[in-house]
Amino acid sequence: MRLLNLFKIATKAIILNKTRTLLTMLGIIIGVASVIAMLAIGEGSKESIRTTISSMGSNMITIKAGADTRGGVRQEASVMESLTLSDYKAIKAQSTLLSYSTPVVEGKGQVINGSSNWPSSIYGVNPEYLNIKVVDLQSGSMFTDAEVQTASKVAVIGQTVVDNIFPDGQDPVGQMIRFNNIPFKVIGVLEEKGENTFGQDQDDVVIAPYTTVQKRILAIDHLNQIMSSAISEEEAPNAVLEVSKILREQHKLTDSDTDDFTVRSMEELISTFSSTSEMLTILLVAVASISLLIGGIGIMNIMYVSVKERTKEIGLRMAVGGKGSDILMQFLIEAILISITGGVLGVILGLGATVFIEKFLNWPTSVAMYSIVISFAVCAVTGIFFGWYPARKASALDPITALRYE
């Protein structure tokens, strides 16, 4: 029999048993839809993480104090005071792969304006901070290097701080506020950025000259961190190595000494979070793939039932000259058709589920073409794998025995 005739026979058999066929497809439909939806959630999460971190400055490099041993006791990085202004100056003077750098000191406290107050964070930086963080001003201006040198009490504030301490809609630029009872003149307002993927409010911030925060707020002479920007995203890994070398020389560390600082690029952060997201995606897809396995087993069982029901038909076809290979192909094509049709319906359901998840659950999703291709490939393999054995059993039937089957 020709392949076209086999296709027609298989299609007719499927149409004659619509309900049974649909129930057989159900496992495949749910499996494919689940795989596509889970991959879409995973890809969307990775893209969201990359976009969020890049919006913080894709070339950004952070230098922080590292854990060290003092008097035989292992100290946490948070209590170390190994970063100084001299380190910043050395990095600024010697680095060839950094475009901007700023010292950073930070603290928490209460921002007060009249009878309104709000708990927030204050960051002491220099004017290059805005270039590193890739953020603009909504109004007003940034403080100058001269104001940093004189430790001027000026500040730039985020929109969340504005909303909470200027509830009447008053223009904050030019107004006086207090942070932990230290007066600051507001000279600018940052453009609104909202929350990042990690739920952190990027607008709940007060920015002031680092010298002012060091002397008047924190009373310290060390730095919490140094923030820099590489000349390009491609050069970020080399910039990390360069900064590490400068700091090791600055701290007089020998080859056997471990670093008392940590240098991280945004690419490392993106890679870390993407890897975590990818592992979760693989786990979700593995769970969803169980439905495909169940669907495959369903196809095999139904094909067994079909072979039993059509034993006389098989015997008749073989008696009039049909070959075992023709019978094998007939039932194999039927199994593949069931599997692929289920795959098509599963893709439609999966795309619909993705749209629902993004619109109503507000989860980031991104449908990758490879997920659809893989789903179809898996469906075809499932049809062949689980349909082959029943088809092989049908093709091996003895024509006389088949004709006599009751």
pLDDT tens digits for range 39-58 = 888 788 777 776 766 666 66
> Regarding predicted confidence, which is higher, 142 or 342?
142
Token pair of 146, please? Answer: 């001269």
> Regarding predicted confidence, which is higher, 62 or 280?
62
For 170, the 3-state DSSP assignment is: coil
pLDDT value, residue 57: 61
> Regarding predicted confidence, which is higher, 56 or 292?
292
Most confident range, picked from 37-51, 199-213, 267-281: 199-213
Average pLDDT of the chain to the nearest whole number: 82
Token pair of 280, please? Answer: 């979760």
- Could you tell me which of 1, 13, 99 has the C-alpha nearest to residue 336? 13
Place of tokens 């109503």: 360
Residue 64, pLDDT > 50, answer: yes
Residue 214, pLDDT > 90, answer: yes
Residue type, 101: S
Residue type, 358: E
Residue 94, pLDDT > 80, answer: yes
Token pair of 200, please? Answer: 């952190």
Listed in sequence order, the DSSP H helices in 166-265 are 210-212, 236-250
Token pair of 289, please? Answer: 């793939």
pLDDT value, residue 54: 64
**Residues 338, 10: contact at Cβ < 8 Å?**
no
Distance CA 375, CA 34 (A): 10
Residue 258, pLDDT > 50, answer: yes
pLDDT value, residue 43: 81
Residue 69, pLDDT > 80, answer: no
Mean pLDDT along residues 10-34: 80
Mean pLDDT along residues 358-377: 82
pLDDT value, residue 315: 72
pLDDT value, residue 45: 77
Token pair of 387, please? Answer: 């349909």
Residue type, 330: Q
**Residues 285, 35: contact at Cβ < 8 Å?**
yes
**Residues 3, 326: contact at Cβ < 8 Å?**
no
For 235, the 3-state DSSP assignment is: coil
CA angle 158, 213, 200 (to 5 degrees): 35
Model confidence at 246, pLDDT cuts 50, 70, 90, reads: very high
Token pair of 278, please? Answer: 């990818």
Ramachandran bin of 264, using left for φ above 0, alpha for ψ from -120 to 50, beta for the remaining angles: beta
Distance in angstroms between the alpha carbons of the first and the last residue of the chain? 26
How many angstroms from the chain centroid is the CA of residue 52? 10
User: How many Cα atoms are found within 13 Å in the side-chain-facing hemisphere of 336?
Assistant: 15
Decide: pTM greater than 0.95. no
For the chain, what percent of residues have pLDDT higher than 90? 36
Place of tokens 């301490």: 165
